Amino acid sequence: MKRIFLLALAIALISCNDQKLTSINVSNIDELQSAIDDSKAGDVITMKNGIWKDAQIKFHGMGTEQKPIVLKAETPGEVILEGQSFLKLSGEYLVAKDLYFKNGYTPDEAVIIFRNSPDSIAFNCRVTGTVIEEFTQPDRHRKDHWIEFYGKHNELDHSYIAGKSNEGPTLKVYLNGNEHVNNYHKIHDNHFGPRPRKGGPKAETMQLGASTTSMTPSYTQVTNNLFEKCNGEVEIISSKSNFNNFSNNVFLESEGSVVTRHGNYATISGNIFIGNDNPYVGGIRVINTGHVVTNNYFYKMRGTEFRSGLAVMNGIPKSPLNRYNQVTDVVIAHNSWIDCEQPIHFSVGVNTDQAEVLPPSEIRSARPKRVIFANNLVYNDRFTSYPIKAYDKIDGVKFKNNLLLSNKNMDSDREDFTLKSISNTLGDELFYTPAQYDGKLYDGYGFNDIDVDLFGKSRNQDQNYIGAIIPPVSDKKATVDYSIYGAKWFTPSTGNKDIKTHTVTNASEFMAAIKDANSEDILSLKEGTYLIDETITLAKELKITSANKDARATIQFDNLKTAFLMQPKGILHLENLNILGTADQDFFRTEDKDMSKAYGIHLNDISVENFKSVLDASKSSFADEIIVNNSTFKNCINGFLLDKEIDDKGDYNVEFLTITKSNFDNISNEVIDFYRGGYDESTIGGILNLSGNTFTNSGKLDKDEILINTRGIVNVTFENNTFTNNDTKFTAVLWGAKGQQPVNNTVTNSGEIKVVENIELKLVY
C-alpha cells in the first residue's frame, strides 16, 4: 500500500509540474522578446504566421535536456523574417524551428548566431527546420556569415540554406577560447543549396575554425548533408581545426572540394561526390597531418589540380599557420572513382619553378610522406589517361593493392595499381563495384577499423571487396533523393514554368514588354527599327530576338549614357539583332553599388556599332557568364572592360568570359581588359575562352598597348584567332606557368603574342 501511495504521489507531482508549462502565442517582436525574457524550461513560444520585418530576435533561456525552451513558427515556413532580421541564441537547451529568412539581410555579423554576446553563449542549443534563402548583403564585398557556431554541443539540422553571394563563408565555427573547443557541434541532414560563384576567395559554404586554430580540437560533426551546386569558391568545406568528421554527405555538382586547409586528424568517410562531367567540380583536397579518407565514392569527376577528385598537396617547409603544412601520416583507403578522368593528383601546388617571383615562405616543396594509398578502386571505360597525375616525386606514398578496371589501353608497368581489362560499360548507373575481387587486400595497422562500407555494410575477415562498396549494388541512376534533406515543408523554386513569348512591333510595345515580362520570358521583335531613348534597367532574365531570322530588327539607342543597365540577377540574351548607339553611350553598364547577386550577358548572332564601350563593369559587380558567339562589333571606343577589381585580393569581375567566332573592327582601345590581382593560389578563376575570332584595325589609342589584356587571369584558352592591322605593342601577354599558350593564331601587322612564364603579383595573405 505504501508503494502504491508513493507512486500516486509521484504521478500527481509530475502532473502538477506539467500544468506549469506554458504555451505562449506572440504576434509582434515586443511580445516575443517579453515571452523570451519570462521563459522557463519547457515553455513553447509560438510566433504568429505572417511577415516579421526587421525582427532582431535575442533568444536567451535556461532549458533542460528533457524540457527545452522552444521557439517555433505557428505553421512551418509561414513565419517569414524579412528586412534586417537575425536570430541569436544563448543559454542552454533552446530549440528554434521552422522559421523562414528571405527578402533581406542581417545588420549584424550573421543571420543565426549561437551566442548573444561574447559572455552569453549557447550550449546544447538547436536550430531545425529553418530556411535561409538569398538573405544576402546588397554589397558583395560586405562580409558576413549566415550561421555562426559558438559554445559547445549546438546543432543545425533539417534546414535549407542557399543563395549567399556576398563575402564570407555561409557557415562558420568559432574556436577562440576554451568555451568553444572540443565542441562536438552537429551539422546534419541539411540541404546546402546553390551558392553562386563569388569571383574570388572567402566564399566557402562551411569553415570550421581559422588558421590560428589549426592546432585546436573541434570535433565538429558534419554528416548526412546534401551540398548542391555550392560554387562560391574552390573550397566547399574548409577544415581549419582538429578531429572534425565529414561523413555520409552528398556533394552534387559543387565546384569546389572538401579541404583539410589547416586542421589535422579529420575523418572523411562515406561521402558521395557526383560531378556529372562538370570540369570544375572537385572532391577532397588533403593538407596537413593524420587524416583518414575512406569509403568515399566519386562519380564522373573531371576536375584537375585543386579541383581534382583527390588532390594531395605539397606543403611549405616550416610553414606559418596560414599557409600549407606538409601532408603526413594520412590513410586513403577503400575509395572508388567511377568514370573519372585522371581523378587522383599528388603534389598539387608544387611551385618551385616560381622561386624568382615568390618569397621562400611561399614555395611549396615539401612532398607528402608517410601516406598509405590502399585498397582503392578506379573504374574507367571512357578515358585513356592514367588515373594518377604526379607533379613531383611521390616517394612518400605507399601504394598497396589498388585496382584499375578499364577497357582502354593504359600503362601496365605501374606498381600503384593492378590493371585489369573489362569489356562492359557502366552507362548512367550511379553505383558500381566489381562482383568479385581475386586479389589480396592490404591489411595495415588500423585497417580493421574500416569495418563498414559506403552504405554501412559490415566488412569482415572473410570478405575481400575492394573500393567503397561491398556487392551487390543498386542500379540506381545518377540522381539524388532530395526529400531526405533540408526542411520538410520547403521546396526550392525551379524557375518560370510558364515561359511566354511577347511579340512586339514598335518601341512603345517593346518597352512595355520589358516591364511586364516575367523572368525567362522571350521578346520577339518584328522587322523594323526600334528607337529607344531611355535606359533599360534589367533585374530579371529575358531573351530578346528578331521574329524573323532573315529580317533582323534594329534597336537604336539615343540620348542616353547607357543602353542596358544590369542590376542584380539581370540576365540578358540578345539574338539575331542589330544594335546601334553613339560614342557617348555604353552598350552595357552595371550598377555602381549593391550588386551582390550576379548578372549575365549572352550575345549570339548580333551586330553592335558605335558605342563608347561594349561593357563597362563596376568594381562592385560580378557576372557569372558573359558569352558571345558569332557576333560583330564595329566602331566602338572600348570593348569589354572588366578591370575595376584592383584591390589585388584575388577577386575579379566575371567567372566565364567566352568569345567565339566573332569579329571586332575599329575598336579604339583594348578589346578586352580582364583583370585579377593578387597571388592567391586558392582562387581558380577567372576563365577566358577566346577562340575563332577576328580582330582588325583596333587598339590604336590603348595606353597599355595590349589588345587583349588578361593580367592575373588563371585559365585562358587562346586559339584559332586572326589578328590583322592592330596598332598595339602586344596582342596579348599570356601566363606560361598556368599553361597558357597561343594555339593556331594568325598575326599580321599586329602586336606580339608574348608568353611570360612567371607574373609577379602582390601576395593576398
Instruction: Tell me the C-alpha distance between 108 and 114, whole Å.
Output: 13
Indicate the range of 139-153, 272-286, 668-682 predicted with least confidence. 668-682
pLDDT at 82 over 50: yes
- Reading the block at residue 524, the C-alpha cell is 520577339
Instruction: Tell me the C-alpha distance between 589 and 200, whole Å.
Output: 21
pLDDT at 2 over 60: no
Location of C-alpha cell 510566433: 47
Instruction: Tell me the C-alpha distance between 372 and 717, whole Å.
Output: 37
DSSP state of 429: B
Are 468 and 336 a contacting pair, CB within 8 Å?
A: yes
* pTM across the whole model: 0.94
Confidence grade of residue 111 (pLDDT, cut at 50, 70, 90): very high
Of 560, 564, 556, 510, residue with least CA distance to 540: 564
pLDDT at 742 over 60: yes
Report which secondary-structure segment, H or E, holds 202: none
Instruction: Tell me the C-alpha distance between 129 and 100, whole Å.
Output: 9
Give the pLDDT of residue 462: 64
Parallel, antiparallel, or unpaired for β 115-117 and 94-97? unpaired
CA 333 remoteness from chain centre = 27
Of 433, 439, 435, residue with least CA distance to 453: 433
Amino acid at 305: E
Instruction: Tell me the C-alpha distance between 436 and 377, whole Å.
Output: 12
Confidence grade of residue 255 (pLDDT, cut at 50, 70, 90): very high
Give the pLDDT of residue 17: 43
Give the pLDDT of residue 175: 96
749 Cβ neighbours under 8 A, 6+ residues apart: 724, 725, 726
Instruction: Tell me the C-alpha distance between 22 and 626, whole Å.
Output: 57
Give the pLDDT of residue 322: 80
Amino acid at 266: A
Are 621 and 588 a contacting pair, CB within 8 Å?
A: no
Give the pLDDT of residue 335: 98
Adjacent-strand bridge partners of 91: 61, 122
Instruction: Tell me the C-alpha distance between 216 and 264, whole Å.
Output: 9
Q: What is the largest CA-CA distance in the chain?
A: 111
Give the pLDDT of residue 5: 38
Report which secondary-structure segment, H or E, holds 573: strand 571-580
Instruction: Tell me the C-alpha distance between 187 and 249, whole Å.
Output: 11
Give the pLDDT of residue 682: 63
Give the pLDDT of residue 19: 44
- For 580, phi and psi rounded to 5 degrees? -120, 140
pLDDT at 270 over 70: yes
Cis ω before 320 (30° cut-off from 0): no
Average pLDDT over residues 376-397: 92
Indicate the range of 22-26, 142-146, 434-438, 508-512 predicted with least confidence. 434-438
Are 620 and 597 a contacting pair, CB within 8 Å?
A: no
- Reading the block at residue 220, the C-alpha cell is 565538429
Location of C-alpha cell 609577379: 760
pLDDT at 21 over 80: no
pLDDT at 428 over 90: no
231 Cβ neighbours under 8 A, 6+ residues apart: 194, 195, 196, 197, 254, 255, 256, 280
Report which secondary-structure segment, H or E, holds 422: none
Are 434 and 377 a contacting pair, CB within 8 Å?
A: yes
> CA distances (Å), 179 to each of 121, 151, 206, 218, 247, in order?
9, 6, 21, 11, 25
Average pLDDT over residues 560-571: 96
> Is the four-CA dihedral 146, 650, 256, 350 of positive or negative sign?
negative
Instruction: Tell me the C-alpha distance between 666 and 509, whole Å.
Output: 34
pLDDT at 302 over 70: yes
Of 637, 670, 666, 660, residue with least CA distance to 724: 666
Give the pLDDT of residue 235: 94
Indicate the range of 144-148, 215-219, 239-243, 736-740 predicted with least confidence. 736-740
Q: CA torsion, points 200, 204, 208, 210, in degrees to nearest 10? A: 10
Location of C-alpha cell 593538407: 287
> CA distances (Å), 201 to each of 234, 540, 712, in order?
8, 26, 14
Average pLDDT over residues 72-87: 98
Amino acid at 289: T
- Which parts of 283-349 are beta strand (E)? 284-286, 292-294, 297-299, 310-313, 328-333, 336-338, 344-348
Q: Is 484 helix (H, G, I), strand (E, B) or coil?
A: helix
